[in-house]
A and B are shown apart, each in its own frame.
Chain A
Amino acid sequence: MKERARNEILTVSRTLLKEMAVIIIVAAIIGLAWNRRMLVESWTGMVNRPAPAASPAAARLPLPLGIMQVKELFDRGEGYLLDARDAVTFAGGHLKGARSFPLGEFEARLPEFLKQVPKTMPLIIYCNGYGCHDSMDLGKKLIQAGYWEIFVFEGGYPEWQEAGYPVEGKKP
Chain B
Amino acid sequence: MTHTTRSYLTLPLRVVLGGIFIYAGTLKIADPVAFAGNVAAYKLLPPFGNYLMAATLPWVELLCGLLLLLGLRLRAGATLILLMNLVFTLALTTAIVRGLDIDCGCFRQGGPKTTPWTALLRDLAFMAGALLLLRLEKRRDEPSAFSSASTGTNHPE
Which residues does A use to contact B, with CB under 8 Å?
A: 1, 4-5, 8-9, 11-12, 15-16, 19-20, 23-24, 26-28, 30-32, 34-35, 38-39, 42-43, 48, 61, 63-64, 66-69, 130-131, 152, 154-155
Contacts and interface: CB of A to CB of B under 8 A. Distances in A.
Contacts of B43: 130
B77 interface: yes
B146 A5 contact: yes
Contact of A66 (B29, B40, B76): B40
B48 A43 contact: yes
Given A154-B37, A154-B41, A12 B55 contact: no
Contact of A34 (B59, B60, B73, B146): B59
A39 B58 CA distance: 15
B64 A131 contact: no
Interface residues of B, number: 44
A149 to B, nearest CB: 14
Interface of B: 29, 32-34, 36-37, 40-41, 43, 47-48, 50-52, 54-60, 62-64, 67, 73, 75-77, 79-80, 100-102, 110, 141, 145-146, 148-150, 152, 155, 157
In the A-B complex, list the 3 residue pairs whose CB atoms are closest, starting with the nearest: A66-B47, A64-B37, A19-B76
Contacts of B52: 39
A9 B36 CA distance: 39
A133 to B, nearest CB: 9
Contact of B60 (A23, A42, A66, A155): A23
Contact of B54 (A5, A35, A43): A35
A130 B58 contact: no
B102 A66 contact: no
Given A5-B149, A8-B145, A35-B55, A23 B73 contact: yes
A119 to B, nearest CB: 22
Nearest to B47: A66
Contacts of A61: 34, 110
A39 B148 CA distance: 49
A63 B114 CA distance: 21
Contacts of A131: 100-102
